[in-house]
Amino acid sequence: MAHAANKTVLKNGIRILTETMPHTRSVSMGVWVDVGARDESESEQGLSHFIEHMIFKGTEKRSAFQIAKEFDAIGGYTNAFTSMENTCYHAKVLDSHMETMADILSDIFLNSVFDEQEVERERTVIVQEIGMVEDSPDEYLHLLAGKTYWGDHPLGRSVLGTRENILSFGAEQIKAFFRRFYQPEHIIVSAAGNLNAERFVDLVAHRFGAVKAGGGLPSRRPPTGRSRVELCTKDLEQTHLCVATRGLPITDPERYAFSLMSTILGGNMSSRLFQDIRERRGLAYSVYSFSHAYIDSGMSGACAAVDPKNARESIRLILKALRALNEVPVSDTELRDAKEYTKGNLLLASESNDNQMVRLAQNEFHFGRRVPLEEVVEKIESVTADAIRNLALRLFKHQGTALTLVGPVSDASYFESLE
């Protein structure tokens, strides 16, 4: 399982992390910033994601077309994503094209011009992206569930921002946000694959070493979850529902027990919710548990898509399954199967240099070190049934739940009485 890993810290604080995987023929690279949607003020909502789009729209020496063409010419793949707490610009190429990938990714991250004409064009694209999410009940449900549970806290907002904000942002505002938040102490460059660590560091260090330190970032405000029912009436065939309750921060020592508990609840086809709601009762095609973990908090729960007449019964069954976790210890068989399932997913993912590139950066952000897979497996194996029950008692027994429904629904009181 072990691969050769390396960490280099530049004088300005930027960290360069590599993991050599000689059995592959490719290299994955990511430029990460520990900044996301939760770091925006209400008037800035959507700027992190807007910057993610604009990074690919031209630098001092490359146009947007040239950036796309140069990646296509080497058979490479590039993309980016913005989350609540991170933004990442990443690419994957054959190992023989690592130098070209490093040059392009470094250029777009460090030298983007944020041209006003490109801003005008891209704002309409993002507005269409907002509409696409609203037209997808599965995605829209999670967006609304965050708002239901977190309220007005930034974690309850959309990463995409609002239409009003997107239509108002100008190039100067975008550049000012970029300069304020993209500080070297919050930047990580990670790479995994068939690479030579020293060579990779040489390729990027002289470029990123020129980034000047800034004034630091504002501290993040911890959120508080809340209990309530929110309805979004839409003309759909199904009712999409989400029962949300307390989760764990991403660094919580009990995160391994929580992961196994979530798997047992609704993480795979043999899970309790899948077997009860889909297989035995035939109420849903899609039913699953979920967890959104952040540096200081978390939200967890379960989602399903059902016939409107079965919505109330499905919610009752989900709440019953949550209660059962703190009333009766999970069986030895359930626990053993959940451990094997979790280890299997973890170790299979470790064969992907994309996943290892992500793990390098996330481990560094959250723990300040590379967490070996052997350590994770050992922690998973050490979880007991009592640990899961005690965790369920801590999370669910005295905590309320937030319920979000999307579809042909109109009467919140019909669901508020559920316990």
Cβ(105)–Cβ(97) under 8 Å?
no
Q: In which region does residue 362 sit, left (phi positive, over 0), alpha (psi from -120 to 50) or beta (all else)?
A: alpha
In eight-state DSSP terms, residue 46 is T
Backbone angles phi, psi at 7, to 5 degrees: -135, 130
Cβ(396)–Cβ(222) under 8 Å?
no
Alpha-carbon distance of 301 to 330, in angstroms, equals 18
What does each C-alpha distance from 17 to 6, 10, 186, 193, 204 come to in angstroms? Answer: 6, 11, 14, 12, 11
Q: Which candidate, 237, 324, 309, 337, places its Cα nearest to that of 276?
A: 324
- Residue 77's CB is within 10 A of a number of other CB atoms, namely 14
Q: What is the DSSP string of 320-374?
A: HHHHHHHHSPPPHHHHHHHHHHHHHHHHHHTT-HHHHHHHHHHHHHHHSS---HH
Render the burial of 56-74: b for 16+ CB within 10 Å, e for the rest: bbbbeebebeebeebbeee
Cβ(301)–Cβ(288) under 8 Å?
no
Between 255-266 and 311-327, two packed helices, what is the crossing angle to 10 degrees? 140
Render the burial of 391-403: b for 16+ CB within 10 Å, e for the rest: bbeebbeeeebbb
What does each C-alpha distance from 265 to 152, 320, 377 come to in angstroms? Answer: 29, 11, 20
User: Which position among 52, 85, 122, 334 bears the catalytic label?
Assistant: 52
In eight-state DSSP terms, residue 185 is G
Q: Is residue 334 among the annotated active site residues?
A: no
Alpha-carbon distance of 298 to 277, in angstroms, equals 25
Residues forming the active site: 52
